[in-house]
Amino acid sequence: MDKSELVISDLRAGYGSLDILNGIDLDVGKGEFVALMGPNGAGKSTLLKTLFGQTTIKSGSILWQGGNIAGLHPREILSRGVSYVPQGRCNFPLMTVDENLQVAAFTIADDKVLSDRDYVYELFPALQARRSTLAGNMSGGEQQLLEMAMAVLQRPKILLVDEPSVGLSPTAIGVVFEELQRIHANGHTILLVEQNTKKAMAVASRAIILRLGKVIWDGAPADITHDELGELFLTGRMAKEDASMP
Amino acid sequence: MLNLLGEQLLNGIVTGSVYAIVAVGMTMTFGVLRVINFAHGEYFMVGTFASWFVIEKFDLGYPQSVVFAVALTALLAIVVGYFLMRKMVGAPFENGVLATLGVSLILQNLAVALFGGSYKFFNGGYIEPVELFGYGLAQQRILIVIVCVLVFIGLDLMVTYSRMGKSMRAVSQNIECCEIVGIDVQSVVLWTFVIGASLAGLSGVLTAPVNVSVYGGMGELITFKTLPIIIMGGLGNVRGTLIAAMILGIAESFVAGFIGLQFRDSVGFVTLILMLMWRPHGLFSLQSRF
Ligand SMILES: Nc1ncnc2c1ncn2[C@@H]1O[C@H](COP(=O)(O)OP(=O)(O)O)[C@@H](O)[C@H]1O
Ligand SMILES: [Mg+2]
């Protein structure tokens, strides 16, 4: 692991005057695959939105590659190599797969777009065959792949993905996770929020557990059992104290 | 009888072309902003006035006056778009109604304040008749149809292939998602509005030689005619607007010719009501939406 590219310190943020994140401290190194987990309402989605500039930040800092991106506009954050795949459907349903990719690549210089689309199609063979299908006519799983492909096309230095498996069939979930691993293997840093903890722990190089807007556990997936994870979700504590607790 | 039929059909196509060029701007603005621009007809009026003014006061030729009129309308639209329209992204629907009605009143009264409330005579364009399929038709009317065809080919290419066009479709299909891919929604709204308003101005100058009279309230009737067209065409649908405008133009022409001129201006809403009874979602499916 290289030195940390993303350093979040004492981050307090939320919606308007309502604080959801209550002092987050978190480092992510280059090339890491971090699974961010926690009970419903813990603030996982809020953390990703905050990193992408879509919430109100009260205090703290988000150092990204040495610069503070806290409070910047999403377009500026995107141009600095942070791409975001939000939860739920986020594509242009009446455009074809190829058009969706073109639109997603508007931030890239024109002459690179074509070769970059080929790169993405190589990474997502399932989409290659669907190039001229309208996005809205595809299955939920295919649309999720498209949305990930749109983000990957932006050649992000870090990819924020929020619950890509929600509402998908077991087969589609399998494909999505395979794809995430492939993206990671191609050198992209990934911060993944996931309810499906089994799957997430299997692919991630690091697990972080969020509860009530704070990080309560941070370590290697191998260092925590599923029972312990469940206990942490529920109570915020583990009966058997763990060395990696911050 | 057949002669009259053909003549009304030709007239209808000309009227339909005028409506199409005006209405397409309103429908595109709606597509990206979800706002019915009640001031849309006023850009038609501004274009007409601008052309009339430079012809009367500076003795400019008609073609030069067209360029001036469209440029001035575009400039006005940039100002209104920058300070008002783009700020309405995400605002409640009522804001759009009130704001655009306000702009409409201001522009109408400004025209009256600057040039007086009387009707002006438009003196320009190509009004000599030529023979077409055995009918006499003013050159200007043929010009209107040709410009309409060119405008729609141009818009279709832009919407389908250009970055701007794809951004417009993106904003109209999923505005929340635009931030994720880095599309500047406000700027897309601004330029869509400027294109639309300029086309309304263009339509105004093109029609002026045929309509002849120029007055501050002339935009109102245009807005009123445009509404049923954009609803029939499927709000935000470019091709649908062209077809709906042609239907309305031809229907008006037939009503005026065979039933009575006094019924002409009610044709739009009557056609709209009949069509909505038959196809409540408009003539065209969302599939073809721009
Ligand atoms: N747009 C919003 N406005 C106000 N509160 C919100 C908004 N989105 C989420 N919240 C609240 O923030 C808290 C954390 O939500 P979220 O970050 O979505 O949790 P998670 O993704 O961990 O399930 C919840 O209590 C939720 O109700
Ligand atoms: Mg969530």
| Mean pLDDT of all residues in B190-206 | 98
Residue A239's pLDDT band (cuts 50, 70, 90)? low
- Decide if pLDDT at A12 tops 50: yes
Instruction: Read off the pLDDT of residues A159-188 as tens digits, 9 standing for 90 and up.
Output: 999 999 998 999 999 999 999 999 999 999
From the CB of residue B2, how many other CB atoms can be counted at a distance below 10 Å? 6
DSSP state of A217: E
Which of A24-28, A113-117, A202-206, B68-72 has the least mean pLDDT?
A113-117
**Boundaries of every domain in chain B:** 2-288
Question: In the CATH hierarchy, which fold is given to the domain comprising B2-288?
Answer: ABC transporter involved in vitamin B12 uptake, BtuC (1.10.3470)
Closest of B37, B49, B44 to residue B101, by C-alpha: B37
pLDDT of residue B262: 85
**Boundaries of every domain in chain A:** 4-87+157-235
DSSP A45-91: HHHHHHHTT-SEEEEEEEEETTEE-TT--HHHHHHTTEEEE-SS--S
pLDDT of residue A65: 94
Percent with pLDDT over 70 in chain B: 97
Ligand 1 centroid to residue A211 C-alpha, Å: 12
CB contact under 8 A, A150 and B181: yes
pLDDT of residue A106: 83
pLDDT of residue B135: 82
Instruction: Read off the pLDDT of residues B51-66 as tens digits, 9 standing for 90 and up.
Output: 999 999 999 999 999 9
pLDDT of residue A241: 55
Per CB distance under 8 Å, which residues of B are interface residues toward A? 163, 166-167, 169-170, 173-174, 176-177, 179-184, 286-287, 289
Do residues B223 and B23 touch, judged by C-beta distance below 8 A? no
Residue A231 sits at the vertex; the CA angle it makes with A228 and A232, to the nearest 5 degrees, is 90
Ligand 2 centroid to residue A191 C-alpha, Å: 13
- Chain A with chain B: Cβ pairs closer than 8 A: 59
The architecture CATH gives domain A4-87+157-235 = 3-Layer(aba) Sandwich (3.40)
Ligand 2 centroid to residue A60 C-alpha, Å: 22
Residue A229's pLDDT band (cuts 50, 70, 90)? confident
What's the ipTM? 0.88
Instruction: Read off the pLDDT of residues B28-38 as tens digits, 9 standing for 90 and up.
Output: 999 999 999 99
Residue A1's pLDDT band (cuts 50, 70, 90)? very low
Q: How many whole angstroms separate alpha carbon B21 and alpha carbon B196?
A: 9
Instruction: Read off the pLDDT of residues B93-152 as tens digits, 9 standing for 90 and up.
Output: 899 999 999 999 999 999 999 999 899 999 988 988 888 778 888 999 999 999 999 999
Q: Using CB atoms within 10 A of its CB, is residue B157 exposed (0-12), middle (13-18) or buried (19+)? A: exposed
| Mean pLDDT (chain B, rounded) | 92
Closest ligand 1 atom number to CA of residue A163: 21
| Mean pLDDT of all residues in A123-136 | 93
**Whose C-alpha lies nearest to ligand 1, atom 7?**
A15
Instruction: Read off the pLDDT of residues A36-48 as tens digits, 9 standing for 90 and up.
Output: 999 999 999 999 9
Residue A240's pLDDT band (cuts 50, 70, 90)? low
Confidence (pTM): 0.91
Residue B159's pLDDT band (cuts 50, 70, 90)? very high
CB contact under 8 A, B183 and A103: yes
The 3-class SS string of chain B reads CHHHHHHHHHHHHHHHHHHHHHHHHHHHHHHHHCCCCCCHHHHHHHHHHHHHHHHHHHCCCHHHHHHHHHHHHHHHHHHHHHHCHHHHCCCCHHHHHHHHHHHHHHHHHHHHHHHCCCCEECCCCCCCEEEECCEEEEHHHHHHHHHHHHHHHHHHHHHHHCHHHHHHHHHHHCHHHHHHHCCCHHHHHHHHHHHHHHHHHHHHHHHHHHHCEECCCHHHHHHHHHHHHHHHCCCCCHHHHHHHHHHHHHHHHHHHHHCCHHHHHHHHHHHHHHHHHHCCCCCCCHHHCC
Residue B289's pLDDT band (cuts 50, 70, 90)? low
